[in-house]
Structure formats: C-alpha cells, structure tokens
Amino acid sequence: MNKQEYKQAVEKLNLWAYHYYVLDDPIMTDEEYDKLYKEVEEYEAAHHGDILKDSPTQRVGDVVSEGFVKAKHLSRMWSLEDIFNAQELQKWLEKAYRLDKNITFYCEPKYDGASLNLIYENGELQQGITRGDGTVGELITQNVKTIKTVPLSIEHKELIEIRGEVVIFKDEFEKINKERLKNGEPPFANPRNAAAGSLRQLDPSITAKRNLVFLPYGVGINTLPHKLLSDKMAYIYDLGFRKPPLRAVTKGYDEIEAMYERMKEERESYPMMLDGMVVKVNEIAAQIDMGYTVKVPRWAVAYKFPAVEKITRVKDIILQVGRTGVVTPVAIVEPTEIEGAVVERATLHNFDEIERMDIRIGDKVIILRSGDVIPKIVKVLVHERNGSEVKVERPKNCPVCGSELLQEDVLIKCQNLTCEARVVNSIIYFASKQCLNIDGLGNKIVEQLFNVGLVKSVLDLFDLNMEKLLQLEGFKEKKARNLLNAIERAKGCELWRFINALGIEHIGEVASKMITEAFGLGYLHVTQEQLIAIDGIGEEMAESYLEFMRVNEETVVKLQEILQPVPPSKREEAKENPFKGKTVVLTGTMSEPRPLIKEKLEALGAKVSGSVSKKTDYLIYGEDAGSKYDKAVSLGVITLNEEEMKNLL
C-alpha cells in the first residue's frame, strides 16, 4: 500500500462505517471491512508520520486517564420542561402562540441516554464534553472518539457545537447485561445508566466495546444561516450524523397529538429507548423571541410518554435490612421486560403498604416503571387468585441477626448496631458514588470481604493488601490491584463526601455539604446551637449528628487520619506564584495523596490536567512515573520532582 492507496483506504473505511452505523444500511461484509482495516493498520505502523486524524484506527486511544478534567461549554446546555398530557400541551401551545401566531413545530424523539456536547473546529472534533451542570461538564474526548456515529471530521469548517444524546440500543443493552451477570458484575438498571456509565470510563477501550450511539438533537454555538430548525438539523444529518427514527414539522395541536400517538405506538420497534417526544418551535427567529427561563427554553417542551405497566407474578416477598436498621419488604417478581430494562424486584415500602394493598406471594400484579424510579406494584389482580396465595406476616425478629424488631411509626427497625446486614450495608454505602466513590466495591465484593472476615468495619478497608485480597475467590492480581488503587484514591476526598459516607441518619449529601461549608475541619466539635443556626438543619438532624459524633468519635478521628479529607477551599484570588495560571500534570506516586496535591495547586491558581500536551507548563512527577513523564520530556515540558516543586514555592 502506498500513501495514495492508504488515503483512499481510509476514505473507503469511513464511508463503509457511515453506511453501517449512521445510515443503518451496510454496503460491505464484515470480512471485507476487517481486511482493509488491517491493511490500514499495517501501513500506519510503518508510516507514523502519515497517519490521518480521521483514520478509523484513531478512534481507540490506549491512554487510560486518571480522572476527568472539567471543561466549559461554549454556550449553555439547557434542560427541557416536561408535560404529561394533552391539556398541558394545549396550555404550552397557547403561551407559544401568544408570542407569535405563525409558528410551526419540529417534533423528534426524546432519547433516554446521556447528553453530550461535541465541539468541532476547522472541521475536526476537538472536544467531547458531558452536560455536567449545563455550563461546565467533563472532558471525555478520548471516549467520544470511540463512538462510531460521531464523525471525527466534518465538512463544516466553522466553529460549531453539536449537541445530542448518547444512547445504547436495546439489544446491545441486553447483551452487556448478560455478559455482566456471567462475570459476576451487577447488571445496569436501564440503558440510560449503561450509556452514562460507559461514557465515563477512564479506560476508553471499555467505552469502545459498548457500541454507544450518538443522536444529535441540536446545536450550541454556530454560524449556520438556516432560518428553520428543521433545515439546521437536515444540514447536521448531512454532515454525517444519524437521523432520528421519526421526525416531522407539524402545524398545531392536532398534528402534534397525531405525531405523539404515532411515536408512542411505534417506539417498541425502534432500536433505542425513548421516554417522550420533544416539540420545538421550528422558526429560529421565534425561538430567539421566546427565549429561556433560568433552566429551560420557552420554545421547546418534552411531551413524556406515560409510564409503562406490565403484568407479572409475585414469586416471593423478602426482607431487606438497610444500614440504618430499617426492614423493608421487597417483592421478587417473575422477570419482566419493561422498556428495555428487566425488572425482577419491586419496592413495597413497608408493611402498612402490603396490608393496605393485600399483596400476597403468588399474586398476579401490575407493576409500573416510570423513568428511573424503582418499579412499584400498582394493583393486585385479586380476581385471578386460586387460593394458593400466601399472606406475609409482619416480622417480629430481624431476618439477619434474629434480634427483636422495634416498630417506629410505619417503619420496623433492627436495633442491633452489629447486625451483619447493617454493617455490610454501611460499608457498601461508605463506598458508593455519592460517598467515597470507591470503584469496584459494590454489594457482592463487600459481602465477600465481610463473609471471609477480612472487613468487619470501614476501617478494615484500609488494612487490605495484595496478599489478603489474593486469598479471595475470583481475585487475580489485576482485580486486586484495581481495588487497592480505588481505595487509595479515596484519600484526599472532599470533606462533605467523608461526612456523607459516615451514614449518619438524616444527614445526607446536602446536609453534609452545608456542615462542611460552615465548619470545615472543625466539624467534629460543634454545638447544637451552631448546627441549628445553619439554614436547612433542623433539631432532629442536629441531634442525630451530635449523637453519632459522640458515640463514634474515635472511629471518625481514625478515619479522618487515614483519609485526610479536604475541606472546601475559600477560593480567594491566589497570590502571585510560579504556578498561578499554569497548566500542570501530576504523575507517579507522591509523598501525599495526589488529590491533595491537586487541591493545593488549584488553590495556587494552577489548572491541573490529566494528560500531557503541548499546552502543559509543568509535569510534576513522583516515583514510578511512566508514559506521561516520557511524553513530557519529548514535548519539552518542564519536569519537576516533588522537592523541586516545593523549592519553587
């Protein structure tokens, strides 16, 4: 293959992929594609300098990042107002018509996935950013490049932000979950979680395997001349993006309703999940007139589909004991597919609820799943009973530790602080996303660690080592190393996560943030008056907090020593220093946890980035620095060890 042939081969592969992934209309066999792909790979291996940016081989990077860097959207990403029925549509239309009588409406699916902003400059994909809070998201360009329906380059050369939803098709979702179950991993609850989770993998090769699909729904910053949204979108699709399964410009109420009914009917047959239809004013000038509220555009609305109901049978009613000791009944139902997710359990809330609805084991029931809420039983089909159904009694003793249960209002509680279920669930909670976010420490692993006696309290997590983990079934060196690293990364966490992770009753994420904002590292010795003085903290919360700290002071202090949580910094303008305004990358093992050093550098006004590029000003390296160090040296970036960094200050 010569250079010319190489260029043609890349073009051909891209055209093939476009037909396959975007148009859903393959024009080649897999073998042909694979063969040409291999040839391209071989050519590139021998001619590094010739590699084209839009070569399909450039989609999968091999750089695993250590965390995502935040990035600003060029223009704000908005949310949508939801409506649920025809009256609400009527009302919204009246308001819209009040501003302009001659408008039409662009209707398209509301996809259920994760939103993504793509920034193209000079026709090249520069950045892929998650929605985040709408202003700032996470930079996930490497992962985005693995999505085959995201063109790496486009014909449009001016700066443009293309927004859309990243989804997982229903069949792919089932495949992934089967695979996960086989590997002993927890299945994803629904395609949306699967898409969002896959998008935020630190290792892009995992994202690449998930077959994500990008579906554009709009633009941010752009110089497009079109006066109609429908024309703008047609232009976007022509640039190489995938079209929605159904879209239309409609004139008014009747046409919108008809379109809504059609999409609702047809959606079962679409490959992706929809949770409604989005109605957008089609005239850009009218959109500008209508403008935005603080959160949503006035010119668009999400017309949600009704929640889906299915009939299934209650196989069993089990009791779960949570970390606070509350015993919750859960119905185990015959596995039922609802909108791409397999439902096997439904919450029953409490025993009053079971008695009120008279739910029995063996009953046929209607379950409802709407959006991301846990499915619930809405109706018992009493007339379908045959007499074999079994009532469940209110438990008197804890199903796990056997101790007597206490009835507190509608709740039934296990009072035993050392009850195994309570301990295991507190550890799971401690490691969960909204707390210390320790990857790989989910239900199964915590139970395993507890059952073999390696971890009897959260403190024991920090005594784990390679030798101990390798004793466990299913643990090989890599899995053990990953877990140990994940635990290590929790060090230097934000102080609110630390407080939240303690699992104090009535003190959740919001309260933890308020407490850390108010007291910083002085959180341990505060008074009732000081706590109640915080807006949003009531007497019950304050009492719960103080009681917890009184009883557990020793453990909390030990945990703090280990974790070194970082209080919220009072972000003042940093004084002049060598790192102010500089882009810094950290690598290797340092004398303190890296997040702590990152925090300090940020307080000095530095931007700490995850990867080395020409824009990097300093690379600060610890022991065992690897590829980042080499890259920095090759790019001529200044490298400093920890001591040199301190000397500079």
Helices (H), 66-127: 86-99
CB of 310 to ligand IVH, least distance (A): 24
Nearest residue by C-beta to ligand IVH?
115
Q: In the complex, what is the shortest distance from the CB of residue 217 to ligand IVH, in angstroms, rounded to a whole number? A: 4
CA distance 129 to 77: 11
For ligand IVH, the closer of residues 76 and 227 by Cβ is 76
| DSSP element (H, E) containing 619 | strand 618-621
Retrieve residue 322's tokens. 């949570």
Q: What are phi and psi of 217, to 5 degrees?
A: -130, 0
Contacts of residues 328-331 at CB distance under 8 Å and 24 or more positions apart, as own/partner, are 329/354, 329/392, 331/359, 331/365, 331/377
Phi, psi (degrees; rounded to nearest 5) at 586: -110, 140
498: phi then psi, degrees, rounded to nearest 5: -60, -50
C-alpha 10/C-alpha 47 separation (Å) is: 14
Q: How far is the CB of 127 from ligand IVH (least distance, A)?
A: 17
Of 12, 110, 178, 304, the catalytic one is 110
Nearer to ligand IVH, 144 or 612 (CB): 144
| Alpha-carbon gap, residue 236 to 122, rounded angstroms | 16
Beta strands at 82-83 and 213-219: parallel, antiparallel or unpaired: unpaired
CA distance linking residue 308 with residue 298, whole number of Å: 28
d(CA 487, CA 493): 11
Question: What distance in Å separates the CA atoms of residue 171 and residue 176, rounded to the nearest whole number?
Answer: 9
Q: Which of 477, 480, 418 is nearest to 448 (CA)?
A: 480
Q: Name the residue nearer to ligand IVH (CB basis): 278 or 531.
A: 278
Between 148 and 187, how does the x/- string for binding to ligand IVH read (CB under 6 A)? -----------------x----------------------
Q: How far is the CB of 108 from ligand IVH (least distance, A)?
A: 5
Subset of 201-230 contacting ligand IVH (CB under 6 A): 217-218
Query: Tokens in use for 6?
Result: 């190489």
Report the alpha-carbon distance of residue 301 to residue 314 in Å, rounded: 38
Shortest distance in whole angstroms from residue 544 CB to ligand IVH: 35
Tell me, yes or no, if 110 is annotated catalytic: yes
Q: Spell out, one character per residue from 1 to 40, where the chain touches ligand IVH: x when CB under 6 A holds, - when not.
A: ----------------------------------------
Quick one: which of 127, 117, 129 has its CA closest to 152?
Answer: 127
# of chain residues touching ligand IVH (CB under 6 A):
15
Q: Which is nearer to ligand IVH, 3 or 95 (CB)?
A: 95
Least gap, CB of 114 to ligand IVH (angstroms): 7
Q: x/- binding map, residues 265-304, to ligand IVH, per CB under 6 A?
A: -------------x------------------x--x-x--
- Name, in order, each residue with C-beta under 8 angstroms of 555's C-beta and a sequence gap of 6 or more: 457, 458, 459
What is the C-alpha to C-alpha distance for residues 419 and 402, in angstroms, rounded to an integer? 9
Whole-number minimum distance, CB 643 to ligand IVH, in Å? 47
Contact of 482 with 440, CB cutoff 8 Å: yes
Binding mask 71-110 toward ligand IVH (x if CB under 6 A, else -) reads: -------xxx---------------------------x-x
Distance CA 11, CA 68 (A): 32
Minimum CB separation of residue 278 from ligand IVH in Å reads: 4
Shortest distance in whole angstroms from residue 20 CB to ligand IVH: 23
Nearest to 461 by CA among 434, 430, 497: 430
Site string for ligand IVH, 34-73 (x = CB under 6 A): ----------------------------------------
Cα radius of gyration (the chain): 28
Q: Which two tokens stand for residue 521?
A: 């590292």
To the nearest whole angstrom, how small is the minimum distance from the Cβ of residue 385 to ligand IVH? 41
Q: Which of 613, 622, 617 is nearest to 638 (CA)?
A: 617
Outline where 380-476 has alpha helix (H): 420-431, 443-451, 458-461, 466-470
Of residues 418, 399, 401, 469, the one with CA closest to residue 441: 469
Site membership for ligand IVH, residue 130 (CB under 6 A): no
CB atoms within 10 A of CB 7: 14
Q: Which is nearer to ligand IVH, 137 or 503 (CB)?
A: 137
> Rule CB under 6 A: which residues touch ligand IVH?
78-80, 108, 110-111, 115, 131, 165, 217-218, 278, 297, 300, 302
Q: Which residues are catalytic?
A: 110
